[in-house]
Amino acid sequence: MKITKFGGSSLANAKQIKKVFAIVKADPDRKVVVVSAPGKRFSADTKITDNLIKLAEQVRDGQDTDHLLAAIEERYMDIIAELGLDQTIKVQIEENLKKMVASSYSSYDQLLNTFKASGEDNNAQLVAAYFNQNGLPSKYISPEKAGLYVSAQNGHTHVLPEAYTNLEKLCHVQERIIFPGFFGISKEKHRVTFSRGGSDITGAILAKGLKADLYENFTDVDAIFAANPQIVAQPQKINHLTYQEMRELSYAGFSVLHHEALRPAIMANVPIRVKNTNKPELSGTLISKTRATNDYHITGIASSRGFMSISIAKYLMNEEIGFVAKALKIMSEHGLSVEHVPTGIDEISLILRADQFKSAADEESLLQELQQRLQADKVYHEKELALLMIVGEGMVSTVGTAAKAMTALAAAGINLKMIDQGSSEISMLFGIDAADEKRAITSLYETFFKANK
Amino acid sequence: MKITKFGGSSLANAKQIKKVFAIVKADPDRKVVVVSAPGKRFSADTKITDNLIKLAEQVRDGQDTDHLLAAIEERYMDIIAELGLDQTIKVQIEENLKKMVASSYSSYDQLLNTFKASGEDNNAQLVAAYFNQNGLPSKYISPEKAGLYVSAQNGHTHVLPEAYTNLEKLCHVQERIIFPGFFGISKEKHRVTFSRGGSDITGAILAKGLKADLYENFTDVDAIFAANPQIVAQPQKINHLTYQEMRELSYAGFSVLHHEALRPAIMANVPIRVKNTNKPELSGTLISKTRATNDYHITGIASSRGFMSISIAKYLMNEEIGFVAKALKIMSEHGLSVEHVPTGIDEISLILRADQFKSAADEESLLQELQQRLQADKVYHEKELALLMIVGEGMVSTVGTAAKAMTALAAAGINLKMIDQGSSEISMLFGIDAADEKRAITSLYETFFKANK
């Protein structure tokens, strides 16, 4: 049994929904279909979810909502008309929206969550109607009905353990299940949206709860690529990734999927396949716990801009017990998250995301505070850094990977500000000038992927 | 004007002292001679300082001291006889020793310091007598007379700023000055020995106080070598090192000189030359603030055993503000000094010297504590690590050094447990299995030094 999730661009209009229908119908194992809200039809288009957020603000501020509500309704009505659906679903969605705006909510947060959730919820009802009308018996099932219970704490939404027990019962449904993504319900029966990853997380939760054999994630790319296609022209597709490789790559800028959103599926050891709704014949990328080795030694090259380093020099630092701890404590007192701590002999660097500082003055005063409280000899910073990462389970067994990467970077004249390889041994991290990013990635790609062909 | 310091092996017997005399006489700039206590004459010999410590313990415990005192006296008397010195110095040293044992001390610490200091103090008097008797006008000057004031705090001995002002006045002495190394005096006029580096630090303090042009450090090696001679046969001599390179190399196992002991000279920017008493015609190794670039890109390869790593894995660690700080705080609560912190995405490693643990049980309980307090997914350790370090000011300007080093290590089949290059960019650190140490150093040496010849 497969959980099959479709992203917003796969459900943006009638033409796309017809593709989705064909995909689901083609495989009887595609028992559970998770749908997103209709996405953008063209790049300047507005996502329905963004309009729903605006609508919530208008209601909160007592503004006139007629115009925006009509625009939202029109998106569904256009699709309904194009798909030639009967009046029932039209009336149903109109009523859903009317009721949503007219209801009273105990807080703005509750209102906002309900409005946002409606994007997926109405779309699931629409998709179920289309499937049924075209001879594929389908059933819209809401998180309320399925008992997908969550709790929201500190801005993060967590699934409650009982939700998995409840979801398991969906196995007995005979029809295809059409399930709205992006939200669950609280014990008080209020809708609560997920903090990130949109509908991906709903699919992952269902994959775990229903003990699926595969979690298919349909989106608008052919596969996950070995390098950013905006930097490398037509990069190699990755056929097979491990969960851990996926995690490391998504840290450093691979944005196809949020690793965190997939976590329930990963925890339950359900393989994930990324596929393209527009080219379902392609095999896409499989993500699973282990994989056979490939020819490339490394699996992917990622990079992420927006980092900076703060370096602290102090003579005989290594003999001062707790020095690094003290430095990091000062950072955390300011709510700053430090991601890497390369150390020399009398010097450490703190690598962090630069957008954590509100102003240059904040930065300057932190440098001074570090200098004073640590009695450091010197404190200085370097901005505009990019973190470059090569990832691959094969790295451990191939002693020369680091050497090969370094040689490629040296050939491209890249100055390495930082090198960090910890104990995980499936990835290696380099700090470079952001200005060198493109050259560095190109050089690594040529070395690891082109040379082997 | 030069400060010229001789180590224990350079003053172990009459033959060595004659060499010292020839060296000092040959250069009128060698105005100040710092002497150590007589060192070992052969490898199974006992250093006079070790016997003095034993003697102090006998006095403390009320044991019979006759035998040991006679042995100590005999070392000096043998040298005096061999050098054909007159009775004056013989009587003087006998009286010094008698007085030392007979005096009363306000604490054992004071007694121990005084006993230890006597090794150098008597030897300086002996050397001055020999120099004078052979026509080189010389004057023994004690730390008391020179005003070399120190204070001892937490087991570390610090020079007081006024000491430097006092020492400056030694410029007016006409004769060669023979100065005992290894101790200063407290404001209460008690002798206080230095915590480490023996007489090296006295030489460095005099170099700063007297604003010397050069601090010569005579020992029993031809030079500082680019790699450990016990691993690489006849390694390249280093002609010229910078202070910073010296600091980094001495961290990772270069034991010729204690960088910390040289610090006063370094702070005053006095160049240091390491020479061999037995081959004074060799130029040795010069250590100064800057140097011209050489052909080798790197200056030295060092390594140090006895490290271990503790790795901590926790999913989404990088989003938890203060995670690394918390881990390091636990370590410092246990008085453990962590020297390097390589970080992955969901994993950090703490690299520390393994001898900090008293027992395997302590280690085990720390791992458990880390796991519990950090709510980590996994905590594990790896022992028998060696840190390998390549050092060179040339590394910054030579983009390919890292690549070259990695290629050499890969060719030797060395598995890299850790790579760390921080912002200093004059050194690069690798963590490897201690069992791979010899192969790794040999391979790096061949690559960086032999290939260039």
Give the DSSP letter string of B388-437.
EEEE-GGGTT-TTHHHHHHHHHHHTT---SEEEE-SS-SEEEEEEEGGGH
Cα→Cα distances B56→B95, B101, B115, B120, Å: 17, 9, 7, 16
Contact B424 A382 (CB under 8 A): no
Contact B337 A345 (CB under 8 A): no
- The answer to whether the annotation marks B306 as part of a ligand binding site is no
Single-letter amino acid code for the residue at B436: D
State chain B's mean pLDDT as an integer.
91
| ipTM exceeding 0.90, yes/no | no
Task: Give pLDDT < 70 ranges for chain A.
Answer: 196-197, 252-256, 396-399, 422-424, 451-453
- Asked if A104 and A190 count as a contact pair (C-beta separation under 8 A), the reply is no
Count, residues in chain A: 453
Question: pLDDT value at position B196?
Answer: 62
Q: Provide, as residue numbers in chain A, all residues whose Cβ is less than 8 Å from the Cβ of B335.
A: 321
Instruction: Round to whole Å and give the CA distance between A261 and A287.
Output: 14
Mean pLDDT value across residues B94-99: 95
Burial of A436 (0-12, 13-18, 19+ CB in 10 A): buried
> CA geometry: angle at B448 spanning B446 and B451, to 5°?
65
Instruction: Round to whole Å and give the CA distance between A220 and A277.
Output: 6
- For the four alpha carbons of A41, A68, A96 and A205, in that order, the dihedral sign comes to positive
Question: pLDDT value at position A261?
Answer: 84
- The answer to whether the annotation marks B62 as part of a ligand binding site is no
> CA geometry: angle at B236 spanning B234 and B241, to 5°?
140
Count, residues in chain B: 453
Question: pLDDT value at position B197?
Answer: 66
Question: pLDDT value at position B453?
Answer: 47
Q: Is the Cβ of B137 closer than 8 Å to some Cβ of chain A?
A: no
Residue A415, CA atoms < 13 Å, CB-side half-sphere: 14
Contact A399 B415 (CB under 8 A): yes
Residue A249, CA atoms < 13 Å, CB-side half-sphere: 26
The domains of chain A, with CATH numbers, are 2-220 (3.40.1160.10), 300-450 (3.30.2130.10)
* pLDDT range class, residue B297, cuts 50, 70, 90: confident
Q: Provide, as residue numbers in chain B, all residues whose Cβ is less than 8 Å from the Cβ of A406.
A: 400, 402-403, 405-407
Mean pLDDT value across residues B244-272: 83
Higher per-residue confidence, B197 vs B90: B90
Instruction: Round to whole Å and give the CA distance between B106 and B126.
Output: 29
Question: pLDDT value at position B195?
Answer: 75
Question: pLDDT value at position A453?
Answer: 47
pLDDT tens figures, B381-424: 999 999 999 998 877 656 688 888 888 998 998 988 888 876 56
Helices (H), A172-322: 200-209, 243-251, 259-267
Question: pLDDT value at position A310?
Answer: 95
Q: Which residue from A minimizes the CA distance to B414?
A: A399
